[in-house]
A and B are shown apart, each in its own frame.
Chain A
C-alpha cells in the first residue's frame, strides 16, 4: 500500500519521464534490499560440508532435506578456497565415508561442531580423535535396520535359490538347454545370526516367517521376550552356531574384536552345504580364507553386500567364483530409507549446533 502511494506522489510531483527514472532507481534499490534480505536469511543458515551430489555422493532427491537447515558446500568447491570457506563450516555430513574426517581436513574447519554420519556403522571414524577436538560425532541407527534386514534376506534367498544364475540362463541368447543348478531349501532350515542387534533381530523376525530355526550369537544374551518373539536360541559358543547353521548371517558392527571374526577355522566348522551372508563389514571376514573355503567346497556359497575394499580390485578371486553373490553395499539403497537417513543426519547436526540433546550421539569408549 505504501509503495503505491509513493509511486502516485512521485508521478504527481515529477511528471512521467523523470518519475519513471526515479521509480526505476527506487525499484532497483528495493530489489537489491530484497535480495540482500534473502541472502541474510540464507546466511543465517549454518554451513555444512558434504562430499558431492551425484557420483559417490547424495542422490539429488535428498539435497532439499539438507538445504532446509544448512547452506551446503561440496568438498570440491571447498577445496577451491579452504581458507575462505573453512571457518564458515559448522557441520560436516559424512556419506559413504566421504569426505574423510582426517586431521588435514578437520584442521581447516575451526568452527566445526559436529561430524554427522549417514548410516549406523562408524568404523571409518576415529571417534576419540574427532571428539578430542571438541567436535561431536553422530550416526543414524534404527532408520537403517529394515532395509538392511531386507537385503540380508534378499541375498540369502537369491543365493539359496540360484536366482542370478537362473536369470542368466533364462535370458541368455545362446543357451536354452542349460539346467539351472538345484538350490537349497530355505523353509525349515537353520539360520545362525552372528550379531543380534537391531538389524540382527529384524533378520530373525523375517527368518521366522520362513519357519527357519533361529540360533544366534551375541556379546550379551538378549532377554527372554526378545528370544521368544522370534523363537531364537542363544549360543554362547559361536562354534556351535557355525556347526548347526545352514545359513550364517553376519550382522555385527566392525570393531577390533570382530575384525577377522570369520576365518579359516570358523569356515571349516560350517557345513559344506552352508551359505555365508555378510551385511556387516568386509573386514569381519578373512577374505583369503573365504576364497579358499568357496573354492574347496568347505562351504556351499557366500552372499556379500560388503567387501574390503569396496569395490574389490578387478582381479580379486572372489569376483570369479561361481558360488559368490556380491552386491555393491546397497543395504540401505531405497529412496525411503535414504531420505530417512538424511533426515536423521540433519536432525543430529541441527541439535548439535543448537546445543540441544543429540538424538544419536556417538561417544568415545
Chain B
C-alpha cells in the first residue's frame, strides 16, 4: 500500500530532462554543444542552471555576455515560476527532452524579472512561503520559526535535501484537527491563453456546511470552463506536477501533498491536445 509520504517524495524528486541550446543570435567563438540536464520540477531555473551557464560561457567572449535568460518556442521563461509549472504550462504533451533556448543578450525586460544572484531567488521563495502561511495559519507558524529554520527551508531546496526541507516544512503543513484544514488554501492557477499572470483568491478547504471541498469545487468557482460535462469533449487539462488529479480530490489533501516547496499549489490549465 502506497503511503501518502511517497507522494511527497515523488513530488520532490520529480525531474524534467532538458536540452539547453544556445540561441543562434548569440555570437560564439566556436559552435556550442547543447547541454543536457535533469531539472528538479520543484526548483527554479536560475537556481539550477549554473552548469548551463558555465558550459556556454566557455564558447563565448566575456563582452558578449549579459544576464542569462531562457526561452521556449518564443516564450521567455519566468524564472520565478517553479520549473515544473513552466514545463506543464508550455511544454507538456511535447516530446522529451524539453528544448530550452539560452540567451545572454536582449533581456526581455517586459516579461522577465532580473535575477542577479541566488539571494533574489531566496527572497522570492521565502516571500512565497510567508504569503502561503499567511493564508494557511495567519502567518503564525512561519513567524514562530527562527531565522535558522527559514534558512533550513531554503537550504533544503537549494541543495535538494528532501529530509532537511521536510523536517521543517512539516510544521507548515499542520493544522488544528477540529478545523479540518488550513484557513485558506494557497494556490495559483496559471493559463497560457490569458494575459493575466495567474488567478489567486481566498478559498477555504471546507465549506461553511462542513463539507470537504475538492479540486472540482475550486475550479467551478474560479475556472468553470475547465470542467466539462460528460458528453462534451475535454477542452482543458488541469495539471499539477505533470499529472491530472481527479476533480473529486480534496483540495486540502492536494495542498498538503502536491504543493511546491513555496507552499503554493500551482495549477496549470492548458488546452487539451486536439488529437
| Chains A and B are bound partners | no
Binding site for A on B (CB under 8 A): none
Chain A residues with a Cβ under 8 A of chain B: none
